[in-house]
Copies of this chain bind each other. A is one copy, B any other.
Amino acid sequence: MGSEELDRVVMVLVRARNPNNIGAVARAMHDFGFRHLRIVNEYEVPFETARSAVDASAVVAGAVVFAGVAEAVADCTLVVGTTAVGERALQHPVYALAKAGEKIGAELMGEGRVALLFGSEKTGLSNDELSHCHWLLTIPMQEHEDVRHPSMNLGQAVAVCLYELVRGEGSVVAGGAGASASAGEVERLTALLTEMMEETGYTKRHPANCDEAQIRRLVLRMGVSASDAPVWMGIVRQVLWKVRGE
């Protein structure tokens, strides 16, 4: 998702009670590159505490306060509520987050603007608030017998949802192991190792491990990289030098 798409996602916190949580939400947004935070609250929002959130000051500074959900989502083409399923009889379609992410991504591929609503830490979104949503998403969680209903920490829930939206980027970030050794190098390493096993008496002691094909497979299973191959050969050559009497 490019930054232009990220800029058409709006996080709406409805009746968030704990300013630390607002700060945590802002930090997660900052981490994943989202900028638009809207807050629906009947009383004054204690932004001072939220502003102290590490790295999130720009998000908090740009937050806009609205009196109601309708106003907060007025310019959005898709309004998605979040819910811990099981709390109430649901009037909406509910999608697991992975599926919801696909649908949100599709909306953003067009010209749409998407609102993601999170309710208060204690009670979630009310039925009235939910009524503004096109559909709901839920984060798949473990059922526990001892708990009335599962619910996540607000900052963690937001982090997980935003991660899902940016998730589909490239896979390998940096190399490390690098290019594999050529078959020729593997063969040279195999030959050296075989010499070493002979010189030290290993082949006599464990003949069952030592036919040529077996040793070659053992070395192939190492998956030696081009840069590690000379290191291993150096180690084995040093053994040979030592064993043969320096």
Contacts and interface: CB of A to CB of B under 8 A. Distances in A.
Interface of A: 6, 24, 27-28, 30-33, 54-55, 85, 90-99, 135, 138-142, 144, 147, 150, 152-153, 155-157, 159-160, 163-164, 166-177, 193, 196-197, 199-202, 205-206, 209, 218, 221-225, 228, 231-232, 234-235, 238-239, 241-243
Instruction: Classify the secondary structure of A's interface with B.
Output: mixed
B160 A163 contact: yes
25 contacts: A28-B153, A28-B156, A30-B144, A31-B152, A31-B156, A55-B147, A90-B174, A94-B173, A96-B171, A98-B171, A135-B176, A139-B163, A140-B173, A153-B155, A155-B155, A196-B235, A200-B238, A200-B243, A201-B238, A202-B235, A209-B234, A218-B232, A222-B224, A223-B223, A242-B243
List 3 A-B pairs, minimum CB-CB distance, nearest first: A33-B142, A93-B176, A156-B159
A196 B55 CA distance: 49
A31 B155 contact: no
B85 A174 contact: yes
Given A171-B99, A175-B93, A228 B238 contact: no
B174 A142 contact: no
Contacts of A140: 166-167, 169, 173
Given A222-B223, A225-B221, A239 B200 contact: yes
Contact of A239 (B85, B150, B153, B196): B196
Given A147-B55, A163-B139, A228-B221, A93 B174 contact: yes
A31 B167 contact: no
Contacts of A85: 173-174
Contact of A94 (B6, B176, B218): B176
Given A196-B239, A221-B228, A239-B200, A173 B138 contact: yes
